[in-house]
Chains A and B, each alone.
Chain A
Amino acid sequence: MTSHATISIEPAGIRWQAMLPVVAVVVVAGFGLLSSDYVVTVLGFAFIYTIFCTGLNFFMGYTGQASFGQSAFAAIGGYGSAILCADYGWEPLLALFATMALSGVAAVIVGFPTLRLRGHYLAMATFALGLIVYEVTIEWTGLTQGYMGYSGIPPLGIAGYELVTVKQQLVALVVLALFGVAVAARLRQSRFGRALASIAGSESAALALGVDIARYKLVAFVIAALYASAAGSLFAHFIGFISPEVFGVTMVVQSFAMLYLGGIGTMWGPTIGAIIVSVLPEALRGLKEMQDIGYTAILIFILIFAPRGLAGLSALFGRVRGRVKEAA
């Protein structure tokens, strides 16, 4: 009789659970809107990184491949948007889509030869990609103004209406981040998403079931690049200034910390990770010189007790709840 009760309760429970992260994100954003512009800026970064990591999660989480070079596509998005909007007066949204298309094409061109590599070799090749684009942003001063950076980038807007305050922009970023997560979730729960997961699980089994793994890897790589590019463009509009360091190795390291902390391969892991890794150092500012130590100590603590990321914990809670229900 218990099994019957469980079945009737389960669907409502799943729906409630699925909505919980959305509520959490809205609460975090709401908290930001009631705080200073400084807090808003930190949260803005968090949601930009949410988009970046959600894309990276396609390639590294769902498909199980390594890319150390996604910052390259963020740079294309960031510099593309900066140049098109500041110098040529493009609509920010139009520039966002145009640079996404450009990043997508670049990802196909780069991905086609490099995705034949696996594991560490693929990591090295993609890392080189990130470094090359980083060098280009420094050296090609005619296009990027080098170390000087690019300023005067207009804020996000649509059809002449600009989001002038950072709070308005934060709202836009939250909406876009949630949209990005929703798209990722939809793609994962489909034949396409299952094919990606099969590659992460076992390439030989995927092949034996007729999955064209070279093609699916490339598509996952391109999707990750599209997200990265959008994140780069949004960064440019949000801060109004970009320089080569923004899209350097730090970006890669940050995004990895976010992915693993939040839970790689999960729907909400990138969001959770992005928010925690962005907010935590700021929250620990009171510790003064102990700030970095406190921050890393918490990261290590989380990874010890939640080795599969914080999003993995919810599954654990779900199981405990399930057991309690069975016992009842």
Chain B
Amino acid sequence: MALLSVREETMRFGGLFANQSISFDVEEGELLAVIGPNGAGKTTLFNVISGFFPPTSGSIQFDGKDITGAPSHQVASAGLVRTYQLVQLFKHLTVAENVEIGSHRVTRGGVFSALFRPEWMRKQEKNVCEGARELLRFVGLEHQADLQADKLPYGRQRLLEVARALAAKPRLLLLDEPAAGLNTQETEALADVITRIQRGGTTVILIEHDMSLVMKIAQRIVVLDFGKKIAEGTPDEIKAHPDVIAAYLGGTETVDA
């Protein structure tokens, strides 16, 4: 059974259909890319899936459970973790602390355990700290661990955001344009990290504009245009798809047909 299934998802803002009857499945362990021209509705799709707003109609199933309209922190708790198009770091904290916060979902304890520090809590703190270091090594930020997060160069802030999301041990990771604003080298480093995440068994959905990145790492691609799904398939199928070519090179009449 699919890890995520989006069924007839429609999101309307007033008279504008940002998403219109979108359906697709994501299998466990897969790396799926969602592409489309600006304004095609990709980020809206992510916002609906991750619970930032409920869809106008349709349903979202995650891991066999209906999460349509569930608040975003609950969706995240269920193991569906996202990143943002604009970097949303905890700027005033260190790089390591950013990642430590990421482990919120997979740890426990509140005010009382913080005050009385039982054995399990001390052990957990140690694991959180070590886990964060390990993830920083995974994305290549181990030498910046104690730096304040906003002192990192932009490309590394992106990597930090990915490391922080990984600390939540997501079952499904949604990456919203992680390569936006990165140079070629940084994009390559990111592509390598994403590939390794997927090989490690985490399912990934990626929104991306950088076609070479998408074609290189995605196993399957969903194409949106004007809020509708116009194509779905492997990178090779998508490259040859007439509607996709039309959407990217102009000639919207084929889409409406």
Contacts and interface: CB of A to CB of B under 8 A. Distances in A.
Contact of A205 (B84, B107, B111, B113): B84
A209 B168 contact: yes
Give the most central of B93, B114, B125: most A CB within 10 Å. Answer: B114
B155 to A, nearest CB: 18
Given A195-B101, A210-B104, A205 B89 contact: yes
Contacts of A202: 88-91
Given A191-B108, A192-B111, A209-B168, A201 B73 contact: no
A interface residue count range (under 10 / 10 to 19 / 20 to 34 / 35 or more): 20 to 34
Looking at chain B's contact residues, the main secondary structure is helix
Given A191-B109, A205-B90, A210 B76 contact: yes
A194 B97 contact: yes
B70 to A, nearest CB: 12
Interface residues of B, number: 40
Contacts, number: 104
A208 B234 CA distance: 29
B81 interface: yes
Contacts of A207: 52, 72-73, 76
Looking at chain A's contact residues, the main secondary structure is helix
Contacts of A219: 110-111
A253 interface: no
B92 to A, nearest CB: 6
A204 B84 contact: yes
Interface stretch (A34-42, A182-190, A298-306): A182-190
Given A195-B104, A210-B104, A211-B104, A190 B125 contact: yes
Nearest to A198: B101
B175 to A, nearest CB: 11
B108 A197 contact: no
Give the most central of B73, B92, B107: most A CB within 10 Å. Answer: B73
A44 interface: no
A213 interface: yes
A197 B90 contact: yes
5 contacts: A194-B97, A197-B92, A200-B90, A205-B89, A211-B104
Interface of B: 50, 52, 72-74, 76-77, 81-84, 88-93, 97, 100-105, 107-111, 113-115, 117, 121, 124-125, 128, 164-165, 168
